Amino acid sequence: MSTHTSTRAVRPPTLVEAFIPVVLMIAFLGMSVVNASSLPELPVISPVLRGLAGLPVVGSLLHSGLTPHIPLIFGTVIASLMGIRLGMTWGEIERGMVDGIVVALPACLILMVIGMLIGTWIAAGIVPTMIDLGLRLISPSVFLFTTCAICAIVSLVTGSSWSTAGTVGIALIGVGHGLNIPLPMVAGAIISGAYFGDKMSPISDTTVLAPSVAGTDVFTHVRHMVYTTGPSLIIALVLYALLGLRYGADTMDLAGIESITRALGEKFTIHGALLIPPLLVIVMVAFRIPALPALLAGSVIGGATAMLVQDMSLAETMAVAQTGYAAETGVQAVDTLLNRGGMISMLPTVALIVCALSFGGVMERTGMLGVIAAAILRVARTTGSLIAATVCTCVGMNVIAPDQYLSIVVPGRMYREAYHKAGLHPKNLSRALEDAGTITSPLIPWNSCGAYMWATLGVFPFAYLPYAFLNLINPLVSILLGYLGWTITKVPPPEAHPPAVPPVSRESRS
């Protein structure tokens, strides 16, 4: 076996070199995922898009509406070529890809289990029961407000946005569809509520991760986030209440709702006891059982319920867990709601996460991420600009190194010393990390969180982005308070030294 190793010198990238893969990847992504033919006429934007669509070769992308997989691979190729130009070997670049992908393997496992859970819960009548109950009890005018509030409560108890979306979220999507409320609005309300608990619950992994990286404790961190997340949730709930006023009894399709509930009743045994499995999953997660075994237990319970209550065979139940449920009720709205789930349905999303984190891994291994962040840090000279830089870096990490954990860990390590030199308490850093890193992750389609919500709720992230009010408002409130100096805590002189960073443990995905 050869023991020869490369002696080539690896030089650090310049800022221009670091930005080249990012700019090309984002341009290719933007042109691929946007279908200009389906967009409404927009001032300034529409003429620009028409001009770009006329370009040779690349212009055709603007009419494709492709998924982000290939553009992300293209970005990875450009980043890899840049790494080779800097003097790195292919083996080093490949290790960067693998290290990036390893971060998301727990998320990929959870995604496949969520697919199984959705399929078995539909077959068991659990999701149909929740949809039927919601259609009978919830008024359209308060539905968006109620959706956000319910998801906020469930996620606060469980500490998990993913579990919230995968349980009550899929039912609320069905209820919103039945009430004739646009699904992007429904998905936005679900995600706003789900991510409130994801960042405020002391049992959430991101809520533990952020203060660990910044150098403070969990409860100090949670108390400090109240000043930014509390007002953001209140504003979001007010906006959902106002938005819901557009939908009332006069907008309800009563005949359509009746046909949905009748079709559900004919196809499934509908009973309140079928709400027990979701409650059991919520309780398991609330008692700190990791998300993967809790959701797997939920899918097993769903399969057993399908056999006991809906008279399905073991073979049929296993097929549903693998390939999803296929409804044939004769009512198109019901079939649209229920034809989903299965482990296989999540494989495109798993592939998307692998492609995205390959790009992020190469960017981190080549040092290009560090160069970009350092350039941002050089312009942060005041408290407000430092917090704004932290927020922007976290959002950028969610875009170019697309994983929620990386958007907290990397900026946290990079800015920790800057906060210390500015005399700022570490809780200011931990709050900014969550106000941007945690909260904006589901808004990016190729981020692991955005990909998960897209697969689970069936709504493209760019479609629900304008309605994810909490996720949009929270980073802005964080920046505003930074510039105003409100709730910004200085370090008392006896504590004016950088605290040790404890080891970070990430057992489960939020």
Separation CA 446–CA 399 (nearest Å): 8
Tokens of 81: 């070529």
- Compute φ and ψ for 42, nearest 5 degrees: -120, 135
Tokens of 422: 């500015």
Residue 285: burial class (beta carbons within 10 Å; 0-12, 13-18, 19+): buried
* Predicted local distance difference test score (pLDDT) of residue 291: 82
Residue with tokens 């291994």: 365
Separation CA 207–CA 197 (nearest Å): 9
* Predicted local distance difference test score (pLDDT) of residue 73: 94
Is residue 361 within 8 Å of 369, Cβ to Cβ?
no
CA torsion angle 470 476 479 481 (round to 10): -70
Instruction: Please name the residues in contact with 159: beta carbons below 8 A apart, sequence gap of 6 or more.
Output: 197, 198, 201, 202, 203, 204, 205, 207, 285, 286, 510
* Predicted local distance difference test score (pLDDT) of residue 8: 64
How confident is the prediction along the chain (510 residues), in pLDDT tens digits per residue?
444 444 568 899 999 999 999 999 888 887 887 777 776 676 777 788 788 888 888 788 887 778 889 989 999 999 999 999 999 999 999 999 999 898 788 889 998 999 999 999 999 999 999 999 998 888 899 999 999 999 999 999 888 899 899 889 999 999 998 898 999 999 999 999 999 988 999 878 899 889 988 999 989 999 999 999 999 999 999 999 999 999 876 666 677 788 889 999 999 999 999 999 999 998 988 888 888 899 999 999 999 999 999 999 999 999 999 999 998 888 888 888 888 899 999 999 899 889 988 998 999 899 998 898 788 878 888 999 999 999 999 999 899 888 888 899 888 888 888 899 899 999 999 999 999 999 999 999 989 999 999 999 999 999 999 999 999 999 999 999 999 999 999 986 555 455 554 444 444 455
* Predicted local distance difference test score (pLDDT) of residue 492: 67
* Predicted local distance difference test score (pLDDT) of residue 365: 93
For residue 160, the SS3 value is coil
Q: Which of 91, 100, 124 is nearest to 5 (CA)?
A: 91
Separation CA 291–CA 204 (nearest Å): 11
* Predicted local distance difference test score (pLDDT) of residue 157: 82
Question: Across-strand partners of 9?
Answer: none
Where in the chain are the domains? 18-66, 105-345, 347-495
Q: What share of the chain is helix, strand, coil (3-state, %, to 5)?
A: 75, 0, 25
Q: Which of 139, 135, 12, 33 is nearest to 83 (CA)?
A: 12
Separation CA 501–CA 318 (nearest Å): 46
Separation CA 318–CA 300 (nearest Å): 10
Instruction: Please name the residues in contact with 480: beta carbons below 8 A apart, sequence gap of 6 or more.
Output: none
Separation CA 221–CA 211 (nearest Å): 6
Q: Which of 481, 486, 477, 491 is nearest to 231 (CA)?
A: 477
* Predicted local distance difference test score (pLDDT) of residue 249: 66
* Predicted local distance difference test score (pLDDT) of residue 40: 66
Distance of CA 323 to the CA centre of its chain: 24
* Predicted local distance difference test score (pLDDT) of residue 42: 65
Residue 52: other Cβ atoms inside 10 A: 17
**Alpha carbons within 13 A on the beta-carbon side of 476:** 10
pTM: 0.84
Tokens of 54: 């006329």
Separation CA 461–CA 22 (nearest Å): 20
